Amino acid sequence: MFLYRARRTVKLGIKSLWNHRLRSTLTALGIIFGVSSVIAMLAIGEGASRTAQEQIARLGSLNIIIKTVKPSEEQSATGQQQSLQEYGLTYKDAERFRNNISNVQVIVPVRRTGQQVWYRNRKISAEVVGTVPWHLETAPVHLEMGRFLAGSDMDYKQDICIVDERIVDELFRFDDPIDQYVKIASDYYLVVGIVSNIPVTSSSAPEENTNGTKMQSGANAGNIYIPLTTVKDRFGEMTVQLNGQSGANIEKVELQEVIVKVSSIDEVLPTRDIIDTILSRFHKKNDYQIIVPLELLRQARRTQAIFSIVLGSIAAISLLVGGIGIMNIMLATVSERTREIGIRRALGARKRDIIFQFLSETLILTFAGGILGIVLGSAIPYFVTYFGKMPTVITGSSLLLSFGISGAVGIAFGLYPAYRAANMDPIESLRHE
């Protein structure tokens, strides 16, 4: 009985909306744009959030990355024309981590240096990464061909290297790099393996890139991995910068990076504190930085949640404006149809019948607007991704949310006009011209 009435009321509503097609369409547009902007905004927010989280996740959530940073100038020796600056992480630090932290899985000391790399007559600049055989455990790199570093390479300071796919693409082009020699600085190295970067598709990927925070591809030409011991021998620990009049500036840095990987997520933060304590005891200068991807990840999630709320709220305001538009039109409709309301009341319509009649019209408008808004709102992120090269993610919850909000808007802004219609005096409304 109720369903039957509801069905006929809806039919009646559609009919009277159809009688005012233009007006209905314009009114629904408010909701369409409101809903679609909520969806689009949330999709863009979610896309940005996922990207940020992916980038952080690439660092590895089980990893703690300690990086060398150059201390500020005031702390260095002053007044000297030619200065030797010694700072940064040392082999001793890595040693201390190994001795003092119980739950550590691996410790990877890394020394990196930018070098010119030659193959035949081609030259590119690449990052030479001096590292250890277990480097792969902390980095999202995958051995494609050949082998990675071995313990004996370290012991004998072998002149071998492993190149990543970017080096292969730019330096070797169509040649097979394995067993070829490349010239780095003034020495020749035998290529023994090729690695590729594993694309991280979701934030759950546990591995990470040793490049630390500058892991965006294309930032440098590529990585060449050689044994840490070889790097130390060939390139030393000094960098000399000639800066005009003031002469040479010599810096001595042992390690650019130490990556500590712990065995479970719960140990990440306590271990970070231990590392900080150890380092602060031995480093008088503020020459290191501890990066905890897990913490960054959590922070990024919080930030993105706020971002999404802000974007969503802005869009929700447009939905609100759409709702006000609907209310406006419904009030106009009600006063325009005063006489019809009077007739219906005289012919036996109860107040609630009138309420249902007008509320159903509003709800039909908002639901139709909501559905079209979802269609449009799902299309917008697609174009944003296609033309704006921005990642977007439409989540089911954002669809439900916006649809729910549009329904709520329909009820909220439809009730008052319907209520007003129902409470008009039937005698007065019958007299209304």
Partner 1 sequence: MIQHQSNRLDFSTDSEILIFEKLCKHYWLGQVELKVLRDIDLTVKKGDYLAIMGPSGSGKSTLLNVIGCLDRPTYGKYLLGGQDVSLLDDNQLSLIRGQHIGFVFQSFNLIAQLNIIENIEVPMFYQGLSEHASAARAKELAEMVGLGDRIKHRPSELSGGQQQRVAIARSLANDPLIILADEPTGNLDSQSGADILGILDRLHEQGKTLIVITHDEDIAKHARREIRLLDGQIQKEVRKG
Q: Under the criterion CB under 8 A, does residue 424 sit at the interface with partner 1?
A: no
| Residue nearer to partner 1 on the CB measure, 18 or 387 | 18
**111 SS3 class:** strand
> Quick one: tokens of 361?
């019209």
Q: Which is nearer to partner 1, 22 or 347 (CB)?
A: 347
Distance set, CA 427 to CA 245, 332, 339, 353, 417 (Å): 100, 20, 10, 17, 19
What residues between 2 and 21 interact with partner 1 by CB under 8 A? Answer: 4-5, 8, 15-16, 19
> Minimum CB separation from partner 1 for residue 52, in Å?
55
CB within 8 A of 96, min separation 6: which ones? 278, 282
Burial group, residue 196, by CB count within 10 angstroms (0-12, 13-18, 19+): middle
Q: Does 340 bind partner 1 (CB under 8 A)?
A: yes
DSSP state of 242: E
- What's the angle, vertex CA 80, arms to CA 77 and CA 81, rounded to 5? 135
Site string for partner 1, 281-320 (x = CB under 8 A): ----------------------------------------
From candidates 347, 387, 389, 396, binder to partner 1 by CB under 8 A: 347
- Size of residue set near partner 1 by CB under 8 A: 24
Q: Helix (H) and strand (E) counts for the chain?
A: 12, 13
CB of 349 vs partner 1, minimal distance in Å = 5
Q: By three-state DSSP, how is residue 144 classified? A: strand
- Closer Cβ to partner 1, 20 or 283, answer by number: 20
Considering only residues 348-407, where is the footprint of partner 1 by CB under 8 A?
348-353
CB of 363 to partner 1, least distance (A): 19
CB of 329 to partner 1, least distance (A): 16
For residue 288, give the DSSP letter: E
Q: β-pairing, 238-242 with 83-86?
A: unpaired
Q: Is 333 in the site for partner 1 (CB under 8 A)?
A: no
Task: Pick the closer one to partner 1 by CB: 69 or 430.
Answer: 430
Q: Count CB neighbours of 386 within 10 A.
A: 10
User: Residues 110, 130: contact at Cβ < 8 Å?
Assistant: yes
What is the binding site for partner 1 (CB under 8 A)?
A: 1, 4-5, 8, 15-16, 19, 339-340, 342-353, 426-427, 430
